[in-house]
Amino acid sequence: MSLEHDPDRLVDAHADGDERVIEGALRPERLDEFIGQPRVRAQLGIVLEAARQRGRPADHLLLSGPPGLGKTTLASIVAHEMDAPLRVTSGPALQHAGDLAAVLSSLHPGEVLFVDEVHRTSRAAEEMLYIAMEDFRVDVVIGKGPGATAVPLTIEPFTLVAATTRAGLLPSPLRDRFGFTAHLDFYDPVDLELILDRSARLLRVSVDESGIHEIARRSRGTPRIANRLLRRVRDWAEVHGHPSIDLSTARSALDLYEVDALGLDRLDRAVLDALVRRFGGGPVGLSTLAVAVGEETETVETVAEPFLVRCGFLLRTPRGRVATPAAWEHLGLAYAGSPAQDLLDFPGSE
């Protein structure tokens, strides 16, 4: 249903008790409402339409890519397009085969099961998932020791939509069982502007073209960040008595929230600053870099690094992380060479 004909989906800008509720309300419900990722959208549309024509659940789907690009949204869209219920769980919640068996055995025919962070599922649950995805059954073990008996339990046909930020950690037997695999890339500023325009109308926020452009270019190519920054800029505008968000308003608000002109936030700059000022530009190991900025290794690797690499500020080399000359320039420092210059000339992957 289009936005123009669905006024109930408009969000009260003064009723933000739960940011998760607001974020969910901004998500599109149909594939034709989904902005960006044109190739993935076209491919997924074929998969879903073919399933509808056959009158069967869609093939299992694997969605990979950095956080905030729309994997959860696409899972919800799959359920809406197939007119099926959506069951949501995550890899960390499936640490025992029994956990997964309980979820699978309670599925209704055609239901969509969304497993976020599927790469963090336990090995025992993964092995049960193999059989469930192919044969729609699970083997429940009754008893212990030599007298244990495996009882096959038939489950209803379902569609598994799995999301991961680290597809390389998935074992091949699991990856091979997905009928469709898609990788989501960072968004172009033009697509982010369309997303922000739609979100602003849903939130009933008045924002001009220059304000949307400024928020979009500082959003790291990520819709989730774009929507979050829009809400924070709206807050700043309301507190300071600005009826509409223009270029000046957007810049003032984003500067207050420490989001610079390229979209780097506090963590990004902390990583670059530590790499350049404390370690002379590198190379330095990921764990050492994480300790230096006071963050978890996984946070630095999955949240900060992808964008810094994309900006050309950081290289992942066999010997560690290396800051490029552009990183020194962005920090306002003169680049005077680095012990890692040979790695800059011949970068590899760690």
Torsion, CA 117, CA 135, CA 51, CA 47, rounded to 10: 40
Helix (H) or strand (E) holding 283, with range, is none
Q: Is 36 left (phi over 0), alpha (psi -120 to 50) or beta?
A: left
Among 177, 218, 220, 224, the active-site one is 224
Among 27, 72, 191, 268, the active-site one is 72
Question: Mind listing the pLDDT tens digit for each residue in 285-319?
Answer: 888 888 888 888 888 887 888 888 888 888 888 88
Q: Average pLDDT over the chain, rounded to whole?
A: 81
β-pair type (314-317, 320-323)? antiparallel
Check if 71 is active-site.
yes
Euclidean distance between CA atoms 78 and 31, whole angstroms:
8
* C-alpha distances out from residue 334 to 105, 263, 273, 326, Å: 62, 22, 13, 10
What does the block give as tokens for 308?
Answer: 């810094």
**Band of residue 21 on the pLDDT scale cut at 50, 70, 90:** low
Among 121, 165, 249, 317, the active-site one is 165
Question: Mind listing the pLDDT tens digit for each residue in 206-225?
Answer: 888 998 999 999 998 899 99
Of 340 and 140, which is predicted with more confidence? Answer: 140
- pLDDT above 80 for 350: no
* C-alpha distances out from residue 90 to 69, 85, 122, 145, 250, Å: 17, 17, 11, 30, 36
Ranges of H-type helices in the chain: 19-25, 38-54, 71-81, 97-105, 123-135, 172-175, 189-203, 209-217, 223-239, 247-256, 266-273, 286-293, 297-299, 305-311, 325-330, 341-345
**Band of residue 122 on the pLDDT scale cut at 50, 70, 90:** confident
Among 27, 71, 220, 231, the active-site one is 71
What does the block give as tokens for 321?
Answer: 């992380």
Question: Mind listing the pLDDT tens digit for each residue in 255-283?
Answer: 898 888 888 888 888 888 888 888 888 78
The upper half-sphere exposure of residue 190, i.e. CA atoms within 13 Å in the direction of its Cβ, equals 3
Residue 179's nearest CA partner among 133, 128, 120 is 133
**Amino acid identity for residue 328 in this structure:** W
Check if 224 is active-site.
yes
Euclidean distance between CA atoms 2 and 268, whole angstroms:
37
- Asked, as a colleague might, if the bond just before 283 is cis with ω within 30 of 0, I would say yes
Among 116, 191, 265, 268, the active-site one is 116
Question: Mind listing the pLDDT tens digit for each residue in 81-121?
Answer: 988 899 898 888 888 777 888 888 888 888 899 988 888 88
Residues paired with residue 98 on neighbouring β-strands, in sequence order = none
Check if 83 is active-site.
no
Q: What domains, with CATH codes, occur in the chain?
A: 37-183 (3.40.50.300), 189-256 (1.10.8.60), 266-345 (1.10.10.10)
Euclidean distance between CA atoms 255 and 248, whole angstroms:
11
Residue 290 backbone dihedrals phi, psi, to 5 degrees: -65, -40
Q: What is the pLDDT of residue 143?
A: 55
